[in-house]
Structure 1
Amino acid sequence: MEEIEKYIILKVKKIRESKGVNQENLSMAIGKNISFISQIEAPSKKSKYNIIHLNLIAKVLKCSPKDFWPDEPL
């Protein structure tokens, strides 16, 4: 997994937790199975977000998709 992918996964997790949203509720809110977010946040991290996922997550968390990206290239 690329460094940028790890960064975005951790950033989504940080924002999700700061908003008090658990993995299951976020998964369901974006129309995915109950374990979708937990599979991405798992230590093995074989799954990844795509642009559509990030946009849907931003809507649920009431933030901008830009909030998930670093200010500078990694």
Structure 2
Amino acid sequence: MHESLEEIEKYIISRVREIRELKKITQEELSLSIGKNITFISQIEAPSKKAKYNIATLNLIAKSLNCSPKDFWPEKPL
């Protein structure tokens, strides 16, 4: 079960990054737009970091990226 959690976290992080890059928004811009410090998104997107998104933060990010929080999740369980 723990392995699945890591997979879902990696998936969500990669989807946030992909949507952010498609919209040409920097990590710093996104961090500031959701009221976090300038390095918040880069800390989560760094592969070696243990930082995670929580549901409230994902909702703020979705608002900032003008998308649905559902856009970050896979169609089927991993």
**TM-score class normalised by the smaller sequence:** over 0.9
| TM superposition score normalised by structure 2 | 0.92
Aligned pairs, how many? 74
* 1:22-37 mapped onto 2 (5 Å cutoff): 22-37=26-41
Cα separation, 1, equivalents of 2:19 and 2:38: 19
**Offset at residue 45 of structure 1 (A):** 2.7
SS at match of 2:8: helix
> Alpha carbon RMSD of aligned pairs, Å?
0.9
Structure 2, gaps ≥5 residues long:
none
Q: Percent identity?
A: 73
List alignment gaps of at least 5 residues for structure 1: none
TM-score by length of 1: 0.97
Larger Rg: 2
